[in-house]
Structure 1
Amino acid sequence: MQVDINGNRLEVELTGPEGAPLLIVHHGAPGLGSMAEPRASFGPLADTYRVLVFDARGSGRSEGNEPFTHEQWVADVDALREWAGAERFVIAGGSYGGFIAMEYAVRHPDRLLAMVLRDTSPDSSNEELARANALSSARVDLDLAKFERIMDGAVRDDEDLRDCWAEILPLYDHVYDPEAVARKVEQTPYRYRTHNWAFTENMPRYDVTGRLGSVTCPTLVLVGRDDWITPVACSERIADLVPDARLVVFEESGHSPQVEEADKFRSIVRSFLQDALGHPAPA
């Protein structure tokens, strides 16, 4: 459904039993991501929780009214919480969605029941590590011009974003499957203006390391061992900075353990939420 949130129409899906704890999941890759991934990863938890997934402002099927700042995306999450009728909720985010989850947590710590972070980073230092990992990979002979354009937020249009995305996608998984990469290229919604804003305006200033100590909710940090773009060291820093955070490394995953080790991923998330929220009864 389309919901007007802060003057911008967002594509939103809300499933699960009325009265259950609310779980809002933020997708990654602004301008490339959509609710499709969190729907697949967290949708099965709708037997116990109210699961809200959405296309963020400027991504997927949502309207694209600027600005595409972290502050605006955080405000949109809080407005979705209010729209769903929850005073407090669980936030989850993977990759860039983890940036927004952490930004929300340091701005609204009293609103959160728990937080789940997947393959993300507390600042932009992951970019230097990602570049080194990409250039040393034997999996793909990178077109450096395309690599630099997508990493720097300098893609020319939606078609160029598609070409650059196809260039780096082979780096993401633990096991490289060219057919799976080709399917993902076809299925991705391309919004180049959003992507460029995120990587030219937001990333150079992104840093929540000095504020993560203020997070008060139970926090689960998940990461794939072979994650090239937000390596394990980034998740280790988050777990060190957030009080009493729990870190889990998936040994047979790249950037997407929610896909590559899906059953284990959901089992760990479900167990964590049961502990954090006091074992809510399944519907």
Structure 2
Amino acid sequence: MPQTAAHYRSYDGAELAYRTLPAREPGAAAGRPPVICLAGGPGRDAAYLGDLGGLDARHTLVIPDSRGTGASPPAPDPSGYAFPALAEDVESLRAHLGLDRFALLAHDAACATAQAYAALYPHHLTRLVLVTPGSRLQGELPGDAEEIFESRAAEDWWVDAYVAAHSLPDARDFTEARALLRRAAPLAYARWDAPQRAHAATEDGQLHPVPRIAFWEGVDDAARRAVLDHLRAVTCPVLVLTGDRDAVTGMRAGELVAASFPHATVRPLYDVGHYPWVDEPDVFRPVVEEFLTRGAVP
């Protein structure tokens, strides 16, 4: 079935966009609510998620465009791009869809949004899937991503990607940052073959500077700690996926994120980078499907 595009009214009256990918296998999603899937970046168009390696075969996916990305309008104030505010947009989408409880999947920076949502609205979640998260919310930045990057020094693209990645902090403007990100792109994937190159080529037009910069703005240490305190009361099962070739966030960050929850499992994926559904869709998809359908929901 083709995907459909629609809009919902969020907490402040903004009309935000989302697309729905109905389950392709007849009857596969019967009786199950859709999976809401959040794009990271931060500030990247959700189009890069695609169908998450065919996860839409057995699950209906709802993929919102966060503020200032895709078909959603910009926020009237930069605070609307901060991850706690984006969590309120998720709650508005849930209400619009008429869902009591649902599964939430997030990638990359959106894992912070998903954790903020879980802290505020744990009673609405049946499952939480966090794909290659960073651990900035946890207040720690492990160094294993750099170790993974350096372990790949024999690959053809490595020298240019290394120079670009280490030049990013000194980029003069977002135009220069885009160019550097383009050169550093191979470090995010397990290999640099045609599917990975095609996926990386979309990033240039999908990144938005203000939503990206404002994602962490205005969230002080007290607010961050409050989120972490509330995560200890989240009762739904949590799956954290990491990739052994992820030179963006590494693997240890996922362990720190999982430790914030009482019922979390870390599942390392091998020969996988920051985008596991691109590198190994036939590994990524069954792991997520099994978690989403396992046993009775508490």
Q: TM-score range by the shorter chain?
A: 0.7 to 0.9
Q: Are 2:71 and 1:61 equivalent residues in the alignment?
A: yes
Q: How does 1:177-188 map to 2 (within 5 A)?
A: 177=193, 180-181=196-197, 184-187=200-203, 188=205
* Paired position in structure 1 for 2:211: 194
Q: What are the superposed Cα offsets for residues 1-50 of structure 1, whole Å, 9 maximum, x if unpaired? A: 3413333332211233675312111011022x222233420763353x43
**Measured at CA, do residues 121 and 42 of structure 1 come closer, stay the same or move farther in structure 2, by a change above 3 Å?**
same
Pick closer, same or farther for the CA change 1:277–1:45 going to 2, 3 Å: farther
Q: Distance between the aligned counterparts of 2:180 and 2:220, measured in 1?
A: 18
Cα gap change, 1:169 to 1:202, in 2 (>3 Å): farther
Aligned match of 1:8: 14
Aligned to 2:168: 147
Specify the code of the residue in structure 2 equivalent to 1:44: L
Deviation of residue 91 (structure 1)?
Answer: 0.7
- Distance in 2, matches of 1:112 and 1:184, equals 32
**CA distance, structure 1, for counterparts of residue 214 and residue 288 of structure 2:** 31
* Structure 2 counterpart of 1:34: 45
Range moving further from structure 2, 15-24 or 62-71 = 15-24
**1:110-145 deviation line (CA, Å, top 9, x unaligned):** 111110111003435564637845884632331467
- Residue 103 of structure 2 corresponds to 90
Distance 2:259 2:46 in 1: 29
237-246 or 87-96, larger mean C-alpha shift:
237-246
- TM-score under structure 1 length normalisation: 0.82
1:208-223 to 2 correspondence within 5 Å? 208-223=227-242
Deviations 1:187-233, CA, capped at 9 Å, x for gaps = 54231111121255559875544443211101111110122222211
Matches within 5 A, 1:133-282: 133=147, 136=150, 138=153, 139=158, 140-143=161-164, 146-149=167-170, 156-157=173-174, 159-177=175-193, 180-181=196-197, 184-187=200-203, 188-199=205-216, 201-202=218-219, 206=224, 208-277=227-296
Task: Give the paired residue count.
Answer: 271
Ranges in structure 1 where 5+ consecutive residues have no aligned partner: 279-283
Cα pair 1:25 1:92 within 8 Å, conserved: yes
Q: How much is the aligned-residue C-alpha RMSD, in angstroms?
A: 3.0
Identity of aligned residues (%): 23
Distance 1:171 1:145, change over 3 A: closer
Counterpart-to-counterpart distance in 1, 2:286 and 2:16:
30
Q: What secondary structure is seen at the aligned counterpart in 2 of 1:195?
A: helix
Q: How many angstroms does 1:162 deviate by?
A: 2.0
Cα distance, 1:85–1:50 mapped onto 2, change above 3 Å: farther
Question: 1:30, 1:198 within 8 Å by CA — same for their partners in 2?
Answer: yes
1:97 positional shift: 1.3
Give the residue type in structure 2 aligned to 1:22.
P
- One-letter identity of the residue aligned with 1:40: D
If the length of structure 2 is used for normalisation, what is the TM-score?
Answer: 0.78
Cα shift at 1:257: 1.4
Higher helix share: 1
Secondary structure in 2 aligned to 1:41? coil
Relative to structure 1, is the Cα distance of residues 134 and 178 closer, same or farther in structure 2, using a 3 angstrom cutoff?
farther
Structure 1 stretch 98-107 or stretch 37-46: which is displaced more? 37-46
Q: Is the 8 A contact 2:82 2:217 kept in 1?
A: no
